[in-house]
Every structure is written in C-alpha cells, then in structure tokens.
C-alpha cells in the first residue's frame, strides 16, 4: 500500500520499526537497559504519527487507514480514534478557550514544573468526557464508526494481553513482567504523558484571541525531524489539514508575524530554562503573552462544556 504523500514513506518506515524495537527487547531482555530510550521515542513517534494521520489520512483506502490507525494504537498506548473527539473536534475548535477539554489554565494561569508534570492526569480525566460522548453518538448514529472504535479497543487490549503472555512464556513471571513493563509499559506511558505535556507547552500563556499568537512553536531541526514537524504548532492550527511535510513552508510565511516570545529554537533549552531553572529562579517562568484564554475581548466569559458532534465531522470521521 502506497502513501498519498511521498514524505510518508518515512512514516511507514517508522511504523514498521516500532514492533521490531519492541520485539527485539522481548527476545533478549538484556538489551532493554540500552534500548528503552529508543522504545520511548518510538512510542512518542507513534502518537505524533497518529495525530498527523487523524488530520490527513496517510493512505487512499479507508480500510488501510483504519488498519494503520489501529496499528499505531498498540505502540502509542491508546486507541487512536480518540484523537478525533479530543483533538480534531474539540481542541482545534476551542483552541485552549473555555470548552477545550485540554485547557492549560484549569486551576490557574501559572506555568510551573508541577502543573506541567501533572497536566497529563488532569487532562486525561477531562478528555474522557468527549471520548464517551463520541462513542455514544457513534453507537446511535454511525454503526460503522462504532465497529471501528470497538475493534481498536479489542485489538489494543488484546495485543497487550498477548504481549504479557508472550513475555512470561519466554522468560518466566519475574523477567517476563520486567520485559513487558520496560519494553511496552514504560514507552506507552511516556508517549501519552509527553504528548499531553507538548499540548500544554504549546498553549500555556499564549493568546487564543490573536491571529498568530495562539500557539508556541519550536523551530529546531532535530526535534522537527524526530517529531515530523510537530514543533511548528501555530501553522498546524492555521492549516490543520495541511500535510506535516508542508508545515515549514507555511511557518516561513507567518514567522515574522508571531510574537518572538512564542517562537523557540530548542525545545530542550526551553524545557531546561522554564522548568528546571525556573524552579530556583521564578522570574524565568513564562508570562502570559497578549490576552489570556479566559479573558475574551468583549469582556464576556463564554463557558461551554467540552463537547463533540461526531456528525459534524463529516467525511473526516468516515475516513478514519
Ligand atoms: Zn492537531
């Protein structure tokens, strides 16, 4: 099966490498101490690729796209259909304003290492609402979508049961649990936690009312290579259906219109300064740029509950 965009040969290569990295560690657990960081990166890449795939399906055929989404679910750590209700239909619609299940300012507008580190747990809890609503609507109105969702859950959960059984069969209970824990459990937890942290870092203290200052972007070449240009977040919001390989071109068009405080070259440096150093030197914490998400220009606080409308998604839902 060929991808629609030739840049996705790399996506496919990464997706094929995911089980190899995992199973090499299953076969020989003595390699885990060297390979677990690679396993974590592969799981994170699975999440990033799932995000890209849910915006712009990788293949022509619907079945192939559904298969690919289910494949990625195993390595990312959660059924990838969930990107649709929580991200495409919710986060992209509300953009960190009231109604976004993933808001960065739920308990205040400070950006500290503690809030960043615990954001995964808070955000996961609030994302469960749109996911349940999406499944309920699919069950009522879209049996094919509902079957796809249930298949993803079954394959995802079933594969983990098989992996646990395989590891114990090969290595006994102690080394088996160690193997599945570090070659599968750790990477998928890392991926889920880090993807949500990225969402937090990309929007905390940005201005959702602004034309271009609604997101923070990282322009580093290495991070954008490793994460398929997902550092370029402002243009992703402005061109949500653009292929990931086109984002640098779109970013170049608006880079000089973005507040310089919201364009960072290195995500690692930003992380070190804003979370590690800022713990000791609070003045290094980020400050709100422009208007805060809870401060609408007309002065009225619009509060909407997080919701999705599966049928609004039209063909996008039907394809994946
Ligand atoms: Zn997106």
CA 208 centroid distance within chain: 19
Tell me the CA–centroid distance for residue 39 and ligand 1, in Å: 24
* Nearest residue to 40 (alpha-carbon basis) of 29, 48, 51: 48
Tell me the CA–centroid distance for residue 54 and ligand 1, in Å: 8
Tell me the CA–centroid distance for residue 199 and ligand 1, in Å: 10
pLDDT for position 301: 56
Does residue 240 register a pLDDT over 70? yes
CA 235 vs CA 166, 213, 278: distances in Å? 43, 10, 28
pLDDT for position 307: 52
Dist. CA 34–CA 91, nearest whole Å: 37
* Nearest residue to 238 (alpha-carbon basis) of 224, 252, 220, 222: 252
Tell me the CA–centroid distance for residue 98 and ligand 1, in Å: 18
Give per-residue pLDDT as tens, 144-195: 999 999 999 999 999 999 999 999 999 999 999 999 999 999 999 999 999 9
Higher pLDDT, 283 or 316: 283
pLDDT for position 298: 76
Tell me the CA–centroid distance for residue 52 and ligand 1, in Å: 7
- Determine contact, residues 235/214, Cβ cutoff 8 Å: no
Does residue 17 register a pLDDT over 50? yes
- Given pLDDT bands bounded at 50, 70 and 90, which one contains residue 319? very low
Tell me the CA–centroid distance for residue 94 and ligand 1, in Å: 12
Does residue 308 register a pLDDT over 60? no
Tell me the CA–centroid distance for residue 51 and ligand 1, in Å: 6
Tell me the CA–centroid distance for residue 240 and ligand 1, in Å: 6
pLDDT for position 316: 37
pLDDT for position 320: 33
- Given pLDDT bands bounded at 50, 70 and 90, which one contains residue 312? very low
3-state DSSP of the chain: CCECCCCHHHHHHHHHHHHHHHHHHHHCHHHHHHHHHHHHHHHHHHHHHHHHHHHCCCECCHHHHHHHHHHHHHHHCCCHHHHHHHHHHHHHHHCCCCCCCCCCCCCCCCCCHHHHHHHHHHHHHHHHHHHHHHHHHHHHHCHHHHHHHHHHHHHHHHHHHHHHHHHHHHHHHHHHHHHHHHHHHHHHHHHHHHHHHHHHHHHCCCCCCCCCCCCCEECCHHHHHHCCCCCCHHHHHHCCCCCHHHHHHHHHHHHHHCCHHHEECCHHHHHHHHHHHHHHCHHHCCCCCCCCCCCCCCCCCCCCCCCCCHHHHCHHHHHC
Does residue 310 register a pLDDT over 80? no
- Given pLDDT bands bounded at 50, 70 and 90, which one contains residue 313? very low
Tell me the CA–centroid distance for residue 139 and ligand 1, in Å: 25
R_g of the chain, CA atoms, integer Å: 20
Tell me the CA–centroid distance for residue 1 and ligand 1, in Å: 25
Give per-residue pLDDT as tens, 262-307: 999 999 999 999 999 999 999 999 999 999 999 888 765 555 555 5
Does residue 113 register a pLDDT over 50? yes
Dist. CA 278–CA 65, nearest whole Å: 43
Percent of the chain with pLDDT over 90: 91
Give per-residue pLDDT as tens, 37-90: 999 999 999 999 999 999 999 999 999 999 999 999 999 999 999 999 999 999
Tell me the CA–centroid distance for residue 250 and ligand 1, in Å: 15
The full set of domain ranges for the chain reads 8-319
CA torsion 145-150-153-155 (nearest 10°) is -100
Tell me the CA–centroid distance for residue 162 and ligand 1, in Å: 32
């Amino acid at each position: 099966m060929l991808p629609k965009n030739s840049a996705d040969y790399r996506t496919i290569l990464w997706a094929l490498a995911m089980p190899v990295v995992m199973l090499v560690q299953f076969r020989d657990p003595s390699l885990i101490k060297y390979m677990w960081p690679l396993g974590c990166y592969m799981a994170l890449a699975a999440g990033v690729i799932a995000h890209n795939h849910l915006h712009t399906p990788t293949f022509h055929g619907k079945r192939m796209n559904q298969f690919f989404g289910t494949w990625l679910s195993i390595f990312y750590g959660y059924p990838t259909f969930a990107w649709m209700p929580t991200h495409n239909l919710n986060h992209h619609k509300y953009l960190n304003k009231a109604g976004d299940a993933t808001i960065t300012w739920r308990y205040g507008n400070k950006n500290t290492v503690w809030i960043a580190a615990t954001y995964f747990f808070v955000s996961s809890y609030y994302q469960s609402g749109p996911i349940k609503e999406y499944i309920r609507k699919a069950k009522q109105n879209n049996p094919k979508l509902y079957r796809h969702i249930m298949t993803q859950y079954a394959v995802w959960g079933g594969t983990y049961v098989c992996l646990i059984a395989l590891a114990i069969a090969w290595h006994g209970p102690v080394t088996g649990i160690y193997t599945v824990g570090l070659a599968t459990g750790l990477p998928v937890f890392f991926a889920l936690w880090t993807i949500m942290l990225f969402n937090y870092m990309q929007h905390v203290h940005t201005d959702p009312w602004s034309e271009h200052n609604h997101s923070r972007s990282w322009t580093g070449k290495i991070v954008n290579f490793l994460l398929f240009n997902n550092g370029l977040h402002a243009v992703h919001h402005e061109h949500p259906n653009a292929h990931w390989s086109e984002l640098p071109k779109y970013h170049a068009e608006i880079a000089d219109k973005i507040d310089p405080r919201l364009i960072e070259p290195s995500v690692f440096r930003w992380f070190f300064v804003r979370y590690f150093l800022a713990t000791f030197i609070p003045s290094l914490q980020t400050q709100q740029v422009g208007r805060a998400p809870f401060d609408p220009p007309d002065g009225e606080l619009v509060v909407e509950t997080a919701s999705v409308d599966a049928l609004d998604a039209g063909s996008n839902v039907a394809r994946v």
